[in-house]
Chain A
Amino acid sequence: MTRPVRSIATGWLSAPHFAPAVLLIVAYGVVPFAGSDYLLDAVLTPFLALGLAALGLNLLTGYAGQVSLGSAAFLAVGAYAAYNFNLRLHGVSFLMSLMAAGLVTAAVGIIFGLPSLRLRGFYLAVSTLAAQFFVQWALTKFGWFSNNNPSGVIDAPQLTVAGIIFTGAVGRYLFSLTVVVIATLFAIHLLRSQVGRNFIALRDHETAAKVLGVPLLRTKLLAFGVSSFFIGIAGVLWAFAYLRTVEPAGFNLDRSFEILFMIIIGGLASIRGAFLGAAFIVVFPLLLSRLGAALLGNVFDSGVLEMSQRIVIGALIIGLLIAEPRGLIALVDRLAERVLRRSPRPLPRSPQF
């Protein structure tokens, strides 16, 4: 480990502390009153859910260096687990279901993380696809998971916490926001602890980490577990606060890639990067469709739109990897430094696999 331990959370430590505070005040105090239902329901709530999922994947891929292509499967596990806890265990509060769903997802994640003990790199990435296909298959095949709905669709119950019912666009937004804020604080704390340092040591040099006494086996499985926990919670938000009706097909491989793209575009091994990437992936298609409609009118049908979205996103990923492998967050940081005219601090090293 050549990098100083403190750089784990460089972004948060060195950023002025008022920036996150201002963000929180705006998110809680201004957005619910000023934002339209469309903004809250179609932009901010999915952004929060996917941002949390990207954060979870970033713990695993960005910090611990284990690539996973099966994130959508863990979203699905979280969503269906919460649904079943809520349905089958009476008298259990929704908050309990949420936590339990996270824990179930963590357990499933650890099981599918077992190959990481023997495989690395591409072999591991490919083996995580097993989770993707198996989970989707199981949720469709076994009616029990969806309470015997023939197509596997589940309808979300009301979000009720301690007697408060979160309904409407504002309620669902506030619920998601609170969950995401708490989860993010937990992630920051985790990354500053020994566990976070172990993750980074594992990523940077497995053999060296082992020599230094990092328990590789436990750290790898913990990385899969913690990451899946976050993604599972994100799945609950995605299903219950955003879509409210979900089917297994919605958690396909494309969704997994989408989450992977978020952390590549936003920035690997960065909490802010995960959210920035999520914001980009959520907002970008909306912007592109608006732009297309404005420029070309009706010529731009939905098929053409979808294809051009794919091309632009793909090209963007390649371009970004070439121009700035550390992601958008590195660009933002550089810009902020120039604007604030602070003495430049050394940029954190990009993660090596």
Chain B
Amino acid sequence: MFDYQFFVEVLVGGLLSGVMYSLVAIGFVLIYKTSGILNFAQGAMLLFAALTFVSLVERGVPFWLSLSATLMIMVGLGITVERTVLRPLVNQSPMTLFMATLGLSYVIEGAAQLLWGTQVHGLDLGIDDVPFELGGVLISRFDLFAAAIAGALVTAFALFFRYTRTGLAFRAVADDQFAALAVGLRLSRVWAAVWTAAGIVALVAGLLWGARLGVQFSLSLVVLKALPVLVLGGFDSVAGAIVGGLLIGAIEKLAEVYIGPFVGGGIEAWAAYVVALGFLLVRPSGLFGQRLVERA
């Protein structure tokens, strides 16, 4: 007997946790689109932002002051990364830059924990996680809140890309770096801005994930959840990150519930990768990835 209500509950839960994956994935897409770098340090930035915010709050700094201070720090981090890592490595192969971000993630993780300690912090955003019922299906209030935040963030970015000069510059650089340089855009400035934007996304994602899991080292491992989302959605598509996140979230939960028991459970760790790979064998450019772009 197939329990439809249970199925829908698992599905909705999966979709909502998928939103959280999308949030992390968007940070990757921003940087990949404009500079062609797969930024492995995104998870470390997420940890750094959340840890900084929590530590400030715990030291008695008011909520909004902590938030803006953390925001300033993330902006500083973005500019520093551009100066010290990206600028000297300009014109290197994408793989070299990827390895540099691996090194960067070690530096940021180490620095965050050296600065603020390694203990687990609780983070309370003031949202009660009491589930409510909608048409007979239990939905987590916190998940819904996270989904709303993610939606607002994506809308804000869409408007920003569409209507501001900086957004236009982002799109120009994403389209063609050399052409953008030729018309006089300052690449270094655009990159600093992009890394700052990614830092802000990291802060938002860090706070939501931190409230869910507690702020600790394992927070930086959410990148590993975001990577199959990126593979599925295409590294260069914000829409792909969102749809990919929803798909991965839903499939992961459904697989865990309906397939997991047959193989001993715990398949969440790799199910997403298998799904993403299986999909790519059929369609190598992902859901929304540009077909013409060589995936190299």
Instruction: Point out residues on A near B: beta carbons under 8 Å.
Output: 67, 115, 118-123, 125-127, 129-130, 133-134, 136-137, 140-142, 253, 257, 260-261, 264, 303-304, 307-311, 313-318, 321-322, 325, 352-353
Quick check: B106 and A130 within 8 Å, CB to CB?
no
A308 and B94 in contact (CB under 8 A), knowing A126-B231, A321-B99?
Answer: no
For residue A300, give the distance in angstroms from its CB to the closest CB of chain B.
12
- By a CB distance below 8 angstroms, the chain A residues around B92 are 321, 325
Quick check: A123 and B231 within 8 Å, CB to CB?
yes
**Extra pairs beyond A120-B296, A133-B269, A353-B95 (5, CB < 8 Å):** A127-B277, A317-B103, A317-B106, A321-B92, A321-B100
- By a CB distance below 8 angstroms, the chain A residues around B118 are 303, 307
For residue A31, give the distance in angstroms from its CB to the closest CB of chain B.
32
For residue A102, give the distance in angstroms from its CB to the closest CB of chain B.
24
Q: Does B6 sit at the interface, judged by CB under 8 A?
A: no
Q: Does B280 sit at the interface, judged by CB under 8 A?
A: yes
- By a CB distance below 8 angstroms, the chain B residues around A123 are 231, 235, 280, 295
Q: How far is the CA of A304 from the CA of B41 in the complex (A)?
A: 21
- By a CB distance below 8 angstroms, the chain A residues around B106 are 310-311, 313-314, 317
For residue B226, give the distance in angstroms from its CB to the closest CB of chain A.
10
Residue contacts A-B, CB under 8 angstroms, 10 given: A118-B281, A125-B98, A129-B273, A130-B273, A141-B266, A307-B113, A307-B114, A307-B118, A311-B107, A311-B110
Quick check: B100 and A317 within 8 Å, CB to CB?
yes
Quick check: A318 and B280 within 8 Å, CB to CB?
no
The SS class assigned to the B binding surface is helix
- By a CB distance below 8 angstroms, the chain B residues around A318 are 84-85, 100, 103-104, 107
- Partner of A310 from the list B96, B109, B273 (CB cut-off 8 Å) is B109
- Partner of B294 from the list A120, A260, A307 (CB cut-off 8 Å) is A120
- Partner of B296 from the list A121, A126, A303 (CB cut-off 8 Å) is A121
Quick check: B110 and A310 within 8 Å, CB to CB?
yes
Quick check: B281 and A115 within 8 Å, CB to CB?
yes
Considering only CB atoms, which chain B residue lies closest to A310 in the complex?
A: B110
Quick check: B88 and A314 within 8 Å, CB to CB?
no
Quick check: A353 and B228 within 8 Å, CB to CB?
no
Closest 7 pairs between A and B when the two form their complex, measured CB to CB? A314-B106, A317-B103, A310-B110, A314-B107, A130-B273, A311-B110, A353-B95
Q: Does B224 sit at the interface, judged by CB under 8 A?
A: yes
A310 and B231 in contact (CB under 8 A), knowing A129-B273, A318-B85, A318-B100?
Answer: no
A122 and B110 in contact (CB under 8 A), knowing A260-B102, A317-B100, A321-B96?
Answer: no
Quick check: A137 and B267 within 8 Å, CB to CB?
yes
Q: How far is the CA of A316 from the CA of B104 in the complex (A)?
A: 10
| Binary A-proximity of B68-111 (CB < 8 A = 1, otherwise 0) | 00000000000000001100110011111011101111111111
- By a CB distance below 8 angstroms, the chain B residues around A142 are 264
Quick check: B98 and A122 within 8 Å, CB to CB?
yes
- By a CB distance below 8 angstroms, the chain A residues around B111 are 307, 311
- Most B-side CB within 10 Å, residue of A120, A257, A307: A307
Quick check: A121 and B284 within 8 Å, CB to CB?
no
Considering only CB atoms, which chain A residue lies closest to B41 in the complex?
A: A314
- By a CB distance below 8 angstroms, the chain B residues around A133 are 224, 269-270, 273
Q: Does B263 sit at the interface, judged by CB under 8 A?
A: yes
Q: How far is the CA of A264 from the CA of B92 in the complex (A)?
A: 14
Quick check: A120 and B295 within 8 Å, CB to CB?
yes
